Each structure stands twice: as C-alpha cells, then as structure tokens.
Amino acid sequence: MYNCRNFISVILIAAVAGFMTSCQCENGDSRKAISEVDDDVSVDDSAVKKLQKVQEIFYTIPSPMEMASLLKKAGTTYDAGMLNDVSNVVKYTSSKRQALNLGIYGANLSYASIFNQNQESIIYLSCAKQLADKLGVTSAFDNETMDRIESNIENRDSLIDIISDSFYTLDAYLKENDRQNVSALVITGGWIEGLYLATQIAKSTDDAPQEIIQRVIDQKYSLDDLLELVNAYNDGGNLDGIIADLESLQELYEQIDISREAGDVTTDESTGVTVIGGAATYSYTADDIAAITARVKEIRTSYIQ
C-alpha cells in the first residue's frame, strides 16, 4: 500500500507533483520528487525551489484526519449535525464548488471514520465520488473500488487504504491534465472544514478542552502556508476569492500572540487574556476565538451553499 497521511493528503501530493511536469515520482511519494527526477529530464532551478517550498507547506498543513483524531482524543462526541448535508452535493455545478466540497466532504469522511460511523462514512464517500465524477475523474471511484469499500466497511484501516489508492488515481489525472488549481481548492475546502469542526465544538462546549483551543490557534501558521500554496496556483486570478477569504482569517489570527515560553494555563480576570503554557505560550482573548469562529463559519457557509 502507498504511504500517505490520509486520502485528502493525496490531493496535496497532486499539487506538489504538478510542479514536476516532466518527471515521475515513485509510488506517488512526494518526498522523492526532487531526488528521483529522470536523468534525461531538465528542470530549472526555479521549478525545483518552488517544489521544495510546496513540499514544506504540504508537511505543515494538518490533515482533516489529524484534526478529527484530536477531537476524538479530547473526549468530544460525534455530531453529524455539524457536517455538510449530503443533499447539497447536487447543487455544486461549477468546478470551483465541486473541488472545494470534495475537500469538505473528505474532511467529513475523516471525521465519520475516526468515530467509527461506518454507514455515514459510505454516504460521505458517495458524495466524494459524485464530485470526483463531475470533475471528470471517473476512474478514481470505479465499481470495483466501491465494491472493495463496501466489503471492508467494518475495517477502518483497510477502508482508508482503499480510499488512498483511489485518490492516487485522482493525483495522476490532475498531474497529467495541468489542473493544479483544482488541488488547491480541494486542500482549502478540507482545511476550512477541519477548522470549522474544531471551532464549532469549542463554541458548543462550556469548558472546551485546551488542546482543541490550542489546535485552533496553531492554525495561525498553517494558514500562512496554505495562503502561500494557493497563491502559487493563482494563475490568471482564478483563486482571488479564495485568497481574500484566507487573508480575512489571517488578519484575525494576527491578534493572537504565540511565543516559545513554557508555563501553565492562566487567565487574567481583568483583561480576559488566557495564556496556554507548554512548548509554546499562546496569548489570546475569548473575543479572538469568537471572531475566528464566526469568520470561518461564514467562509464555510459560502462554500457549501
């Protein structure tokens, strides 16, 4: 089986692979992309540097599966009501909305899988298949693949592996057809949905686990990386709207201070500022988190409508 973090991460690999227009990456492993370029292929220095940067970005952006795992470890319970309604899938007629919601439904699938919601996993997988078909990648989820998935519905590890294989097919298609901007949209959809789920859980919990709040704050840096990735694919201004959405979140994150100092979790009652100690120190107010929560909900709502 291929080694990948989860099936949405494969879309990120597709984005990385897109920079190497004349080389082949063994087993789809993006880490080998630079070192395994064919001897007969000439790649200019700027392309190699760009690939290296995108690889760095790939490994710093958290996957939806990681976010879902954190939510479960924090003791939260499964809430299907937070996820994108499966009936919405028929509304996505533009390639932009199809790609964004492929990422969103992918994050929903990760969330359902982590909480062992097998039947709902199949439903969200079906939504992903429909969107992949609309994007013209029918081979990613053929009948044989769907049969394998149904046969392994009780085996989460096997299920994830099968889905990963399917997205390697999508990887190849996007690479061969110069559609890297689609990859950027899928990545963005998955990232937004993961952050949306985390902020909604924190909002609905009277005493939200600090690890969830910390994870939300940690997205300050992954957001910077995501913006750089989307900008790299913004040929002709096709992704200007996505960039504006992400930049509006970036402005809110700039109000939060992160410094590398150890310490306990403390709250200043006079200012309302909470500081989380540990490997890093986070200084924020409840209003900071509320603003991020509200904005990511607005962005997510605009994507799923």
157 forms beta bridges with none
| Distance from the Cα of residue 167 to its chain's centroid | 14
Query: Residue 45 above 60 pLDDT?
Result: yes
What local confidence, expressed as pLDDT, does residue 25 receive?
Answer: 35
Q: What is the pairing mode between strands 281-285 and 273-276?
A: antiparallel
The more confidently predicted of residues 67 and 27 is: 67
Mean pLDDT value across the chain: 74
Residue 119 burial (CB count, 10 A): 8
Q: Which of 43-47, 69-73, 217-221, 248-252 has the lowest mean pLDDT?
A: 43-47
DSSP-derived secondary structure for 56-77:
HHHHHSPPHHHHHHHHHHTT--
H-helix segments, the chain: 7-17, 45-60, 64-73, 95-114, 118-134, 143-151, 156-176, 180-204, 210-232, 240-253, 286-304
> For residues 273 and 291, what is the distance between their CA atoms, to the nearest angstrom?
15
| 305 three-state secondary structure | coil
Give the confidence band of 86 by pLDDT, cuts at 50, 70, 90: very high
**Neighbouring C-alpha atoms within 13 Å toward the C-beta of 41:** 16
Q: Which of 68-82, 142-156, 187-201, 228-242 has the lowest mean pLDDT?
A: 142-156
Query: Residue 101 above 90 pLDDT?
Result: yes
Query: Residue 38 above 80 pLDDT?
Result: no
> For residues 3 and 14, what is the distance between their CA atoms, to the nearest angstrom?
14
Q: Where are the domains of the chain?
A: 60-255+286-304
What local confidence, expressed as pLDDT, does residue 28 receive?
Answer: 38
What local confidence, expressed as pLDDT, does residue 58 receive?
Answer: 52
pLDDT > 90: what percent of the chain?
26
pTM, two decimals, is: 0.74
21-25, 58-62, 128-132, 248-252, range with greatest mean pLDDT: 248-252
Query: Residue 131 above 50 pLDDT?
Result: yes
Reference 73, options 65, 81, 63; nearest CA is 65
| CA distances in angstroms from 131 to 88, 95, 119, 243, 296, listed in the order given | 11, 9, 19, 23, 23
Check if the beta carbon of residue 107 is closer than 8 Å to that of residue 149: no
Q: Which of 16-20, 83-87, 122-126, 229-233 has the lowest mean pLDDT?
A: 16-20
Which tokens hold the place of 51? 């690939």
Q: What is the pairing mode between strands 281-285 and 257-259?
A: antiparallel
What local confidence, expressed as pLDDT, does residue 36 receive?
Answer: 40
> For residues 196 and 68, what is the distance between their CA atoms, to the nearest angstrom?
11
pLDDT digits (tens, 9 = 90+) for 49-62: 655 655 555 555 66
Query: Residue 229 above 50 pLDDT?
Result: yes
What local confidence, expressed as pLDDT, does residue 276 receive?
Answer: 56
**Mean pLDDT (whole number) for 132-146:** 75
pLDDT digits (tens, 9 = 90+) for 153-189: 777 677 667 766 665 566 556 656 667 678 778 889 9
What local confidence, expressed as pLDDT, does residue 163 receive?
Answer: 64
pLDDT digits (tens, 9 = 90+) for 179-198: 767 877 888 998 999 899 98
The more confidently predicted of residues 283 and 101 is: 101
Give the confidence band of 261 by pLDDT, cuts at 50, 70, 90: low
